[in-house]
Structure 1
């Protein structure tokens, strides 16, 4: 257990959850379900059941340092790895891997986003432990694949092969978010699984892959590898991290490596990336309306999701169908659920016209 580590990626803005998720207070710090714990805290609590507290790291943008310390006071400063700028998941994971290698070159690491919902937690922890044991014995990069329940265009897909190592299937291909026709083909084939964005590997194996496929990152980090896990690390990262390429771990490593394996899992997974994903999970009334912690009356309205930041505010909705109604701070958003991919553009347009006050 002392060789098992967890890296939680918590630096995103979550702009698709605007106006609740803002650049100053993104979705991972919000309590969407009224449990008293934010998405980040729920993720930490989940892994802390199988990973020692001192082996859990958060990688995030440096502007969120105080929020992380406030929500997770049990973490030491050196467990909060601060990025000076956003550079996607590959540089984020490389930074964590170099830091952890300096602490423990035998480390086995599970990497997880901070915004996932897991309904069957006991099964989830069994699967993570199974993957940690596997990468300890095998030079494999493991991803957890979710059996699809529908043709979904919002997730990436992993194609399985016939080659197996125990319960782990060798991965044939990765495919980014497909159109609906292709998603239907994937769903019906039985060969494709949703890419959960949860990864497990030994630190030596992932660093070897970084050296092979992303030398733009490792060449720079190798120059300062003796500085990791020292007082000099923050200065080195501040000076070098911004020069890393802006690339995801999927594009940069997983799609190119030939030692990628998938564990097929079913633990009630949901990626809370959009209002639509939250709508799918929420309780609904007889007309399929969802009101999140909100006092709401519906008239001739169906298939809507309503979220009000102020618990004392009442929403009366009449005649709307299939809409997102979200009121937070100085912004009210009303848009069609089917057009929620345009929210990022709405945010960009708002900033262009009104400045950063509403972002």
Structure 2
């Protein structure tokens, strides 16, 4: 199988550290390596590197080369502009189909924390065998570790299976806490990890059935997707295909997993690095009588006194002061502020 690492997102939930010019996948947030470098090199440790590809927006292509100089140019699939994961998956499938290559593809984000890479590879290999044998679409269903309101959920059948993979019954989008608490108490519910395994021909068939206009326009563009890509709809692959597909199954994954898309997710990964008061700090930070904060200072020192449960981030791009309980609103507020400032400009 081949793995296509998706590295084209913006990462607004990690503002002001993650910005349009250099979003989260190109930042060193949990170690000395960036998230893209960590994902690529962990995978290269369990499979041939020539089987690893990266799909990213044209504007980020130089960053990919800078951070992964070992990556050959023909293993970077370039989106002319950002158009969400639906068009991204279609473009990737066409890339391989034009080469007569129908080997199973793993489409996975670049910004996930999966320390047990061997267990991940074994789960992907199992999904690959089902995708090859049955022409099915496979997802990795993450066994929930807590009631999480920032993730989507997969409801799977406990009786209808295909070679050990469970049939997907429905999706639940980012539920309120009460609903999330009910979901995680069930044995048939998983987090939607956003990792999908399928053959390019299966993607083509699903696109023709559920998104025929999008697929037809990309096909007609041939080797020049820039002619049409900017006019394609911004659709997630979940909405474009997965929620409509009838041949969708999930492979349960019971190991540590974290989507590094928010400040609270970084806190969970770096929990062992907290000081005696439970603060996660990075940079020239001095915290006094302060507990359970996430504090990041870039380029200048920060002094924090008497703060509790805050996210405090200072960069050249801006300053964020946010109570942890309000973090779910950060992405929408950043978009609202950027829209307002753009309108003024």
Q: Secondary structure at the match of 1:189?
A: coil
Q: How does 1:247-266 map to 2 (within 5 A)?
A: 247-266=235-254
Q: Provide the rounded CA distance (Å) in 2 between the counterparts of 1:222 and 1:355.
A: 34
Q: How does 1:241-252 map to 2 (within 5 A)?
A: 241-252=229-240
Q: Secondary structure at the match of 1:247?
A: coil
5+ residue gaps, structure 1, are 228-232
1:333 aligns with 2:329: no
Q: Match for 2:85 among 81, 89, 92?
A: 89
Q: Match for 1:240 among 228, 232, 235?
A: 228
Q: Provide the rounded CA distance (Å) in 2 between the counterparts of 1:256 and 1:348.
A: 29
1:214 aligns with 2:203: no
* Shift of residue 133, structure 1, vs aligned partner: 2.3
Task: Show the counterpart of 2:172.
Answer: 175
1:23 aligns with 2:20: yes
1:166 aligns with 2:163: yes
* Shift of residue 180, structure 1, vs aligned partner: 1.1
* Shift of residue 354, structure 1, vs aligned partner: 5.3
On the 8 A contact 2:10/2:19 being kept in 1, the answer is yes
Q: Secondary structure at the match of 2:274?
A: coil
After TM superposition, the score normalised by the length of structure 2 is 0.93
On the 8 A contact 1:7/1:57 being kept in 2, the answer is yes
Q: Secondary structure at the match of 2:71?
A: coil
* Shift of residue 51, structure 1, vs aligned partner: 4.1
Q: Deviations over 1:338-357 (max 9, x none)?
A: 1123323443454356559x
Q: Deviations over 1:131-175 (max 9, x none)?
A: 222212121100000111111111000001021122211111111
**Residue-pair matches, total:** 340
1:38 aligns with 2:25: no
CA RMSD of aligned residues (A): 1.8
Q: Secondary structure at the match of 1:280?
A: helix
1:128 to 1:317, Cα distance in 2 relative to 1, 3 A: same
Q: Match for 1:202 among 199, 202, 223?
A: 199
Task: Show the counterpart of 1:230.
Answer: none
Judge which range, 113-122 or 49-58, deviates more: 49-58
Divergent runs of 4+, >6 A = none
Q: How does 1:49-88 map to 2 (within 5 A)?
A: 49-88=45-84
Task: Show the counterpart of 1:274.
Answer: 262
Task: Show the counterpart of 1:322.
Answer: 309
Q: Match for 1:294 among 283, 298, 305?
A: 283
Task: Show the counterpart of 1:309.
Answer: 298
Q: Provide the rounded CA distance (Å) in 1 between the counterparts of 2:189 and 2:63.
A: 38
Task: Show the counterpart of 2:4.
Answer: 7
5+ residue gaps, structure 2, are none
* Shift of residue 277, structure 1, vs aligned partner: 0.8
Task: Show the counterpart of 2:187.
Answer: 190
* Shift of residue 271, structure 1, vs aligned partner: 0.1
Q: Provide the rounded CA distance (Å) in 1 between the counterparts of 2:317 and 2:250.
A: 44
Q: Provide the rounded CA distance (Å) in 2 between the counterparts of 1:51 and 1:96.
A: 20
Task: Show the counterpart of 1:155.
Answer: 151
Q: Deviations over 1:77-112 (max 9, x none)?
A: 232222222211110000000101222433110011
* Shift of residue 329, structure 1, vs aligned partner: 1.8
